[in-house]
């Protein structure tokens, strides 16, 4: 079967891309915060996590030491990941 026709390829490609976006958004926002520039809205950071980039966002938080003092992020991002994991496990086992 042609790889590009396999839906699993596109799902993995999407997840890789959205996690890179979540990671990059954390780095960009940290850079802007340090330079006292316009910031990326927190809604956008959470949206990238909700759309599947929770792992990238969490790694970005650690690597860039960004949003690590905000309870909404230190609790919210792992909760989003957990809910996504439960959803995936449900879809796989049904």
3-class SS of residue 87: helix
Residue-range definition of the domain harbouring residue 39:
3-93
Structural domain count of the chain: 1
3-class SS of residue 39: coil
- pLDDT at site 8: 87
pTM, entire model = 0.91
CB 53 within 8 A of CB 21: yes
- pLDDT at site 6: 86
- pLDDT at site 1: 61
pLDDT truncated to tens, each residue of the chain (94 aa)? 677 788 889 999 999 999 999 999 999 999 999 999 999 999 999 999 999 999 999 999 999 999 999 999 999 999 999 999 999 999 989 8
The values of phi and psi at residue 74, to 5°, are: -65, -25
């Amino acid at each position: 079967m042609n790889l590009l026709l396999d839906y699993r390829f596109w799902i993995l490609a999407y997840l890789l891309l959205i996690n890179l976006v979540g990671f990059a958004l954390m780095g960009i926002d940290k850079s802007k915060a340090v330079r006292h520039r316009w910031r990326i809205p927190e809604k956008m950071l959470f949206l990238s996590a909700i759309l599947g980039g929770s792992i990238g966002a969490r790694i970005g938080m650690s690597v860039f030491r960004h949003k690590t003092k905000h309870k909404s992020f230190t609790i919210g991002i792992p909760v989003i990941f957990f809910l996504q994991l439960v959803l995936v496990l449900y879809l796989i086992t049904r």
